[in-house]
Structure 1
Amino acid sequence: MLKATFTSLAVFLYFGLAGQSRAFFLNENGLLLQDTAVACLCSTVDSLNQAFETSDPEPNQQSAPQARGHYIEFRTTPPNALADMKAGVDFEQFIKRHSPQKVDRDVIIQKSYAWLNNTAVTQFTYLPYNQNFGNRLTSVESPYDGTGIPDLLRKSS
């Protein structure tokens, strides 16, 4: 029984190696690739090198100023909303007091500048990262510092 097992293993090993030897054989140029494939690869690498040399990548990459927060939208300006923000009223209490039209929790807020009618204006955009949109934010470590957008607008102007 042991002799039959070794014989069958030897036969399977031989056929396995023989099959692999035909899969990877050396061409006339001594490589696994044919001359036409090598020429094609050379031209591809040359064109990539030329494109890289002619492009001018910006060496100084900077991220846009951004923060974590909540987006709140009102139909009209509620009285005392700014005073409540400055006083540091809890977010849930603020929502109950002023009943906004729209609330998007947990968004990434980006501050940027634009020209509007020959005037520099500050604009804020936001990107949701909660479970509804499939984005995740993994580097949020600091809590909300209580700074509202009206304060940021006042500082930038």
Structure 2
Amino acid sequence: MAADSGQMNERRWGLYPWHGQSESERALVHPEDFERLKLLWPYCKVLKRLGEAAEQGFIVLRYGESTFRVRPELFQPVPPPAFDIGSAVRLRKDPERTGVIVAIYWHYKQARPFFLIRLGVKRSLNRYRAEELLPLAAPLSPCA
């Protein structure tokens, strides 16, 4: 589809609000990927669209290290998140505290992503917005 490939850069991230409860929803997932996607439960998670799958009619989505082949009907593009899973970050309000992004969820009411991070060996219970985090590699700003 020409429109799809022309807008691919703008549509590389999105939501896949799949529950997998009905037969029609089960048919949206490649049979080899069904059990793994069911375990992930992608509803509210922000996934990266990698492109078309080798199998006709499927796209490839990635969440963390896992990839899944799904039908494109449920894919809903969203703006790219500021960070990806695995990105090293530090807290803006406490720059000495560093962590790693472990999950990206979509806040439907605010229409933006929020991040869960692992600080050291513990997963933080807090949800962070992009503006509350800085890339770990970024230098400290005296005005921050």
Larger Rg: 1
The TM-score, its normalising length taken from structure 1, stands at: 0.24
The TM-score, its normalising length taken from structure 2, stands at: 0.26
Structure having the higher helix fraction is 1
